[in-house]
Amino acid sequence: MKSIAIIGGTGLNQFPGATHSESIELDTPYGKPSGKIEKLTLASGAVHFLARHGQPHNLPPHQINYQANIHALHQLGITDIIAVNAVGGITDKAPTGCLSIPDQLIDYTWGRAHTYSQQENNDPLLSVQHIDFSQPFNEEIRNALISQGKALQLPIADSGTYAVTQGPRLETAAEIAKYERDGCDLVGMTAMPETALAKELGIRYASVCLVVNPAAGKADQEITMEDIRAVVDKGMQQVTTLITHTVSALHA
């Protein structure tokens, strides 16, 4: 039986329209997660919800305890994760306002605790392992998101390569040009090591990326937080609608 968790990113610290039943505070061998995990009931079924950046939003991407977040969800028996990421758009496949369901990523981060294959925590669950990461995102969840998005007539992009950068600064125009040459369509700061850690624990994982701005050098004007917030406010309504319908499809 599937047990679904939603990891909310920038702009999605709470899940609107959900009925709250329980707040769960957990500890893990890797420390505490970003915050309490909320047990929610949507119109389409029960889910768990974790705000990646904390409540309130105060954890920058490079200081999130990704190991603790994913391990806490594992402790709760989560089988499927739908992650929400706010990203910049690099190519024509990722216009501002688009909901992209990436199928690939390239990891440009550094210094993050990126695996459970380590000795210092004495976690009995894991030994050294070499996961197959050819396809980082789960196809069944991706296909459910895509089909529901198309049925709802949302601005869905059914593929894309996500460049994961260190942050918290935004990228230079030269860096974005490099990522485009590397084949990336999206740029964000939080998909790794989250995706790989979920795979190490056998949790199926997919991402909904809301494109909130053109990446550096891709627009004629400076990127402002005011412009980003306007797109986030509208786009997250579409994201929550999409996830609600997808949860129903996955439970079917």
Annotated binding site for substrate: 189, 213-215
Distance (Å, rounded) from C-alpha 188 to C-alpha 192? 9
Distance (Å, rounded) from C-alpha 248 to C-alpha 2? 11
Show the tokens assigned to 24. Answer: 């769960």
Binding residue ranges for phosphate: 10, 52-53, 190
Identify residue 56 by its one-letter amino acid code. P
Show the tokens assigned to 186. Answer: 């999206």
DSSP state for residue 164 in the 8-state scheme: E
Binding residue ranges: 10, 52-53, 189-190, 213-215
Q: How far is CA 118 from CA 27, 63, 130, in A?
A: 18, 19, 12
Half-sphere exposure of residue 28: CA atoms within 13 angstroms, side-chain side: 23
Helix, strand counts (H, E) of the chain:
5, 11
Burial of 205 (0-12, 13-18, 19+ CB in 10 A): buried
